[in-house]
Structure 1
Amino acid sequence: MLVLGFPVGPLQANCYVLARGEGEPCVVVDPGQDAVEPLNEQLAKHRLTPAAVLLTHGHFDHVLSAATICAEHDVPAHIHPDDRFMLADPGAALGPAGRQLFGDGMTGSEPAEVREIAEGDVLELAGLSFEVTHTPGHTGGSVLFGVGTEEGGRLVLSGDTLFAGAIGRTDLPGGDHGRMLESLSTKVLPLDDETVVLPGHGPTTTIGRERAGNPFLQELPAPGASH
């Protein structure tokens, strides 16, 4: 299995490309701001052809290049319906301070074909199976994408729900700290320690490493424990 990851845009959001191998169809995850050029370089280098775009949530630093990528390769974008509105209005979830910081002139557009995803969906794309887990908190429509490797391992693309040593912020419009803690407790903590986490920002980690050292997870009750 081929997994490529590279940061894009001023906020250095991670864009990922997953495929069964070189010269194969691939899936692009979170092509955010300024992702088109570096993404196309990786596609050419590894002879990959996009089959779909997956979006972990709707924030501009994760979706701003989605419409362009989808149009260039004639593929659909997959996003949870609660975050779909951000595709056409990237500033919608920034709040007044965020709009002032990043500029009211930021424009976006919805890809020609958008497929809405939900908890429990299994997306069969490019010879890979992606399981959708809805994890509201950072945004209302945040999701995890879980995928198995041919070697028997497990990857989870966590977007801005979980980082190495941290979690996503919940103080932007649509964020909800209580829902975030619930998502972490019921959707993240039950994952196997060996699961490799590919986060929306920062370095790769594992569930076991975060369970042991992430202060936000250590404060949560163990799965199945009474609240």
Structure 2
Amino acid sequence: MASDSTLIHDLPAITVRRLAVSEMSNNVYLLTAKKSGIQVLIDAAADAEAVRGMLAASAEDTPCAPQLRAVLTTHRHWDHIRALPAIAADPDVETAAGAVDAAAIEEAEDVRIDRRLEHGQLVQYDGIGLDVIALRGHTPGSVAFVYPVEDGPTHVFTGDSLFPGGVGKTQSAEDFGSLLDDVVERLFGVFDDDTIVHPGHGAPTTIGAERPHLAEWRERGW
């Protein structure tokens, strides 16, 4: 099941649309640069037809002809990559994912990953620039994508690494410690409280709303 895409942010340079797909209610995000029409999709999770519907609806967001330029994947889990082969079939559409997860994505979906991302890199297309933040633990190669806004809150697309109420699921105490340490250092230690967190499932939150609970998360171990 898929919902209709929703325009959730109309920012000075880009728009952000969100679509929930599949029985897992995965969030798919679409960023459209207003001045160029260039688009970046984050997590082609499932339901390629619904994703194409979001792409079509985004024609309202720019006076230019929309053009999907890249599909970015936050991590390798099956429920976030099922529509990737269909949506990224055009060779002009670049695919990118965390370097450590890329091979697993290629094997699972028989799809190419053109760009293997490392912590601290910048992925940049005409009118859209996103910083790459590695958040190791939910999967070894999980990454978040950060869109800074001049004179406004930063937007962080965290995949399954950070949600309202805690970090993503991990398989061991070591993985949990790694993920929480990265989230604390690389997100809460860097970004202001008004920073908007867009997770891989469910509703958004802010860094400020979650910050008071970090010690609680570490104590409970999940």
Return the TM-score normalized by structure 1. Answer: 0.80
Which structure: greater strand fraction?
2
Shift of residue 22, structure 1, vs aligned partner: 8.6
Shift of residue 16, structure 1, vs aligned partner: 0.2
Query: Which residue in 1 is equivalent to 2:133?
Result: 133
User: Secondary structure, in 3 states, of the residue corresponding to 1:84?
Assistant: helix
1:68 to 43, 62, 86: 86
Shift of residue 193, structure 1, vs aligned partner: 0.5
1:29 to 29, 42, 51: 42
Structure 2: which 5+ runs fail to align? 1-13, 60-65
Query: Which residue in 1 is equivalent to 2:198?
Result: 198
Query: Which residue in 1 is equivalent to 2:69?
Result: 51
Aligned pairs (5 A) from 1:81-100? 81-90=99-108
Query: Which residue in 2 is equivalent to 1:100?
Result: none
Q: Which moved more, 1:38-47 or 1:201-210?
A: 38-47
Query: What is the alpha-carbon distance in structure 1 between the residues aligned to residue 102 and residue 181 of structure 2?
Result: 22
Return the TM-score normalized by structure 2. Answer: 0.81
Q: Tell me if structure 1 keeps the 8 A contact 2:97–2:115.
A: yes
Q: Tell me if structure 1 keeps the 8 A contact 2:19–2:54.
A: no
Q: Cα 1:33–1:46, aligned 2, differ >3 Å: closer, same or farther?
A: closer
Q: Deviations over 1:160-215 (max 9, x none)?
A: 1101122210028xx81121121122112112111111111110111001113xx4
Q: Tell me if structure 2 keeps the 8 A contact 1:2–1:22.
A: no
Q: Tell me if structure 2 keeps the 8 A contact 1:33–1:60.
A: no
Query: Which residue in 2 is equivalent to 1:109?
Result: 110
Aligned pairs (5 A) from 1:168-187? 168-171=168-171, 176-187=175-186
Shift of residue 42, structure 1, vs aligned partner: 1.3
> In structure 2, what residue type is equivalent to 1:75?
V
State the Cα RMSD in Å: 2.1
> In structure 2, what residue type is equivalent to 1:200?
G
Shift of residue 45, structure 1, vs aligned partner: 1.6
Q: Which runs of 4+ in 1 moved over 2 A?
A: 20-23, 149-153, 218-221
> In structure 1, what residue type is equivalent to 2:22?
G
Q: Tell me if structure 2 keeps the 8 A contact 1:124–1:130.
A: yes
User: Secondary structure, in 3 states, of the residue corresponding to 2:158?
Assistant: strand
Q: Which moved more, 1:127-136 or 1:41-50?
A: 41-50
Structure 1: which 5+ runs fail to align? 91-107, 222-227
> In structure 2, what residue type is equivalent to 1:64?
R
